[in-house]
Structure 1
Amino acid sequence: MTFYSEERTALFIDGSNLYASARSLGFDIDYKKLLSEFSSQVRLVRAFYYTALIEDQEYSPIRPLVDWLDYNGYTMVTKPTKEFTDATGRRKYKGNMDIELAIDMMELAEHIDHAVLFSGDGDFRRLIEAVQKRGVRVTVVSTVKSQPPMIADELRRQADFFLELKNMEKNVGRAVSQRQDKDFDEYPVEYETYDEAEQTA
């Protein structure tokens, strides 16, 4: 796809979803490279990163990454997670940031030409449609090369452009052992994946 240098562009990063997508492809995101990649091609207005944080723990494994992003050009949007117990009795944490992301994209729509959404969540299809009606081009970054695919088919169809995350690895990726977030192996917040049954439902 083509980016235009005069285009006012904003990035909207669904943190847990992007993390899961990159890990499913065998690499991690280098957020410094990611910001540089887009800054060199467009007029980058804002880069939002959305994640829920486990607040009642003495140490949150994602906190070092969140702090690094906050000091290095990203606008952090966070909220506390909700704890639940799964069917096996294990404690898990869930934090849905869809509303926060949707509000920010709608509010910024009149000030940008292009929105880049890093997520495969099909719940964002209606949001994309709404900002498109305001004249904003929308690119979705996710992957169909993982098993299962990390993007909902309806979201891919609605977007003006789809960027395959695997094709961006050379420019924005790094080996897992080189992560900035070395202290955890799994994103501590639940995320969604999309298999073929869900895509065709």
Structure 2
Amino acid sequence: MKKIAIFADVQNIYYTTRQAYQKQFNYRKVWQHIAAQGEIVCAYAYAIDRGDNQQKKFQEMLKHLGFEVKLKPFIQRSDGSAKGDWDVGITIDVMEVAEQVDTVILLTGDGDFAMLLNKVKERFNVTTEAYGVPKLTAKALIDSCTQFNAIDKDLLLP
């Protein structure tokens, strides 16, 4: 049975699905779709902790599905801008897990991960997949993965 690792860039998925469709991503449906392809040996969801109750309920739902939720505090800069991405953390986790699985799946449209997917394919001979909103996913990411899965109405909450 194929061993699968999932890495979900929660902020990216949230904002791109909201911008493109004004809806939320259906993590349960994508989990079921991926689980039908093999054994999910690990799944990480990377999010920013703002401490609100709605977010906590969402994080509990992710844990219930099988994700390990990793949180970083929300950082508001003095100029009003905000910081809070997980690019380095996701990269480290992918590199640590890739040699133990057959497939690495990223839920993101962030082109910064294109080099990562190319490297793990080359070094560990794994299949790489990405899930992203087509019009908001970097071409470099689409080109770097073995398979690109479009987030469309079928993967959104009603």
TM-score scaled by length of structure 1: 0.71
Return the alpha-carbon distance in structure 2 between the equivalents of residues 165 and 32 of structure 1. Answer: 13
Is contact 2:113–2:141 with CA below 8 Å preserved after alignment? Answer: yes
Alignment of 1:11-160 (within 5 A): 11-23=6-18, 24-54=20-50, 59=52, 61-84=54-77, 91-133=80-122, 134-144=124-134, 149-160=135-146
- State the alpha-carbon separation in 2 of the partners of residues 127 and 114 from structure 1: 14
TM-score normalised over the length of structure 2: 0.88
> SS of the residue aligned with 1:28?
coil
- 1:173: Cα distance to partner? 2.2
Aligned length: 156
Distance in structure 2 (CA, Å) of the matches to 1:156 and 1:40: 23
Distance 2:133 2:142 in 1: 10
**In proportion to residue count, which structure has more helix?**
2
2: distance between equivalents of 1:26 and 1:96? 22
1:135, distance to aligned residue in structure 2 (A): 0.5
Structure 1: gaps of 5 or more residues: 1-5, 176-201
* Amino acid aligned to 1:165: I
RMSD: 1.8
State the alpha-carbon separation in 2 of the partners of residues 68 and 47 from structure 1.
13
Deviation of 1:60 after TM superposition, in Å, equals 5.3
Could you list the structure 1 runs, at least 4 aligned residues long, displaced by more than 3 angstroms after superposition: none
What CA distance in whole angstroms lies between the structure 1 residues aligned with 2:26 and 2:110? 22
Amino acid at match of 2:67: Y
Between the two proteins, what is the percent identity of the paired residues?
25
Residue ranges of structure 2 left out of the alignment (5+ in a row): none
